Amino acid sequence: MSIIFDEREYARTIIKKGIQSSGSKGRGLQLVANYLREQGYEDEQIENELHRISKKSFSDYNKVMMYDYIDKRVKRSKKGRLKTNSPVNITEAEINTILSEENEKYQKLMFVYLVLAKFYMENSNSEKYYVGCSDTDIFKLCDMYVKRQEKREMMHYLTKKGYIEPTTKMSSIVNYVNENSEVVMKVVPDETMIYSFEQKYLGGIFINCEVCGKLVKKTNNRIKYCKECAREIHNSTT
């Protein structure tokens, strides 16, 4: 998934474990630089840490070849800003709009769009509620399998109804935000955001991860942990 909801935690993970995917090289190093700058590190300290991480992460690391690449990240960190996934408020009017659609797939899609719109608003200077990510990421957050043609039909429907207003290939304005109503939910924007909606409005069965407390869909009686914690536990015992 290309969305990073908590960039501080993402940066801390890279500092600890290195960059796991070559595709996130530039983005990962920039977030680490921004994070270290936020923590009060000076240019030389940030530069040294980025070289350390690069040496650990990339088999073809060469300090001379990486110098300009890392220097750019250090300079950009002076204006860098990290996204954070503070809880967003969901209002009664917004939920009523979502539940006015009888199809649960549309309800889930609209809920995800709404949370993302508020997440991006919290982390930008925009005056409108934009969502700037791929349809692939959006549907993954909905936790449902939808074929390509059905995805197109669903997106077309939301556009036709005026719920969303596409502006570019990967950006839309969400038009059903209504902050002038009673708050009925506080949702942390993350990969499991849809579970809170399913639990409260769709009757899904969920438990809290025994390690981190995140909501986990209970598909069988053996489920105890979220995917991330289950992976950590597995890795620590093998």
Are 188 and 224 within one domain? no
The number of distinct structural domains making up the chain is 3
Residue 41 within a domain: yes
Residue 33 within a domain: yes
Backbone angles phi, psi at 89, to 5 degrees: -85, 135
Residue 1 within a domain: no
Kindly report the CATH number assigned to the domain that includes residue 146.
1.10.10
Residue 53 within a domain: yes
Residue 200 within a domain: no
Domain span including residue 179: 88-195
Instruction: Kindly give the confidence (pLDDT) of every residue in the chain, 238 residues in length, as a single tens digit, with 9 standing for 90 and above.
Output: 589 999 999 999 999 999 987 667 899 999 999 999 999 999 999 999 999 999 999 989 999 999 999 999 999 999 988 999 999 999 999 999 999 999 999 999 999 999 999 999 999 888 899 999 999 999 999 999 899 999 999 999 999 999 999 997 789 999 999 999 999 999 999 999 999 999 999 987 888 888 888 888 778 888 888 888 888 887 787 6
Question: How many Å from the N-terminal Cα to the C-terminal Cα in the chain?
Answer: 26
Other CB atoms within 10 Å distance of the CB of residue 236? 7
pTM of structure: 0.86
